[in-house]
Chains A and B, each alone.
Chain A
Amino acid sequence: EAGVAQSPRYKIIEKRQSVAFWCNPISGHATLYWYQQILGQGPKLLIQFQNNGVVDDSQLPKDRFSAERLKGVDSTLKIQPAKLEDSAVYLCASSETGETQYFGPGTRLLVL
């Protein structure tokens, strides 16, 4: 069974530029999560989807971050414009039961 796929794996941008991350969850998993993990910290949930609907986006900085999950499968997370403090690893996870989450390898973002 294929795992959660994410791309790109690494991205370097200048502040005020925009960037987008892509995630393909495990087939059949209805719930999809995006996390931000700053160096030395645990992952922080940004947004949770159930199929193509948003369940929780309370910690998503909506003035610059946006996410969508079209057709309830793939998802994209966008940052526009990026700030220095957005440098982090962005993790995507999916879940079938809503309990155990399966994580992708993450996208490491560096904002200069």
Chain B
Amino acid sequence: SQQGEEDPQALSIQEGENATMNCSYKTSINNLQWYRQNSGRGLVHLILIRSNEREKHSGRLRVTLDTSKKSSSLLITASRAADTASYFCATDFNFGNEKLTFGTGTRLTIIP
């Protein structure tokens, strides 16, 4: 079964608005990562947050991690049409095996 569950499954916003998507997981993790997948393409790594970190920034991306609630959120600020894609959270919970378990994804559509 898949470890992470993203919420919402689909999200449509106007260009320039902020987009927030959430990920919940079931077991303790070593780190949590977010990946983006454009239509018909492979996945691209966006950001990694470790279990002892609470917040991380990269450009227009902000990721938070709450290990007590076993949840993470990804915020994309000032969205652009090029941000249209599916976003997946992936958890590394094997502590040494570096095996990622992907969630079900959030389909983000930016309306120009």
Contact = CB atoms under 8 A, between A and B. Distances in A.
A72 interface: no
Interface stretch (A12-20, A41-49, A62-70, A80-88): A41-49
Interface string A76-112: 0000000000000001010100111111111000000
Main SS of chain B's interface residues? strand
Interface stretch (B11-19, B63-71, B76-84, B92-100): B92-100
Contacts of B56: none
A31 B44 contact: no
A104 B48 CA distance: 19
Interface residues of B, number: 23
A105 B38 CA distance: 10
Given A4-B42, A101-B100, 18 more contacts: A35-B102, A41-B2, A41-B105, A42-B4, A42-B88, A45-B99, A45-B100, A55-B97, A98-B98, A99-B33, A99-B48, A100-B45, A101-B45, A103-B35, A103-B42, A105-B42, A106-B41, A106-B42
Interface of B: 2, 4, 31, 33, 35, 41-45, 48, 88, 90, 92, 97-105
28 contacts: A4-B42, A35-B102, A41-B105, A42-B4, A42-B102, A42-B103, A42-B104, A42-B105, A43-B43, A44-B102, A45-B99, A45-B101, A48-B97, A48-B99, A55-B97, A56-B97, A91-B43, A93-B43, A98-B98, A99-B92, A99-B98, A100-B48, A101-B43, A101-B100, A103-B35, A104-B42, A105-B41, A106-B41
7 residue pairs, one from A and one from B, having the closest CB atoms: A98-B98, A42-B102, A103-B42, A103-B43, A105-B42, A43-B102, A100-B45
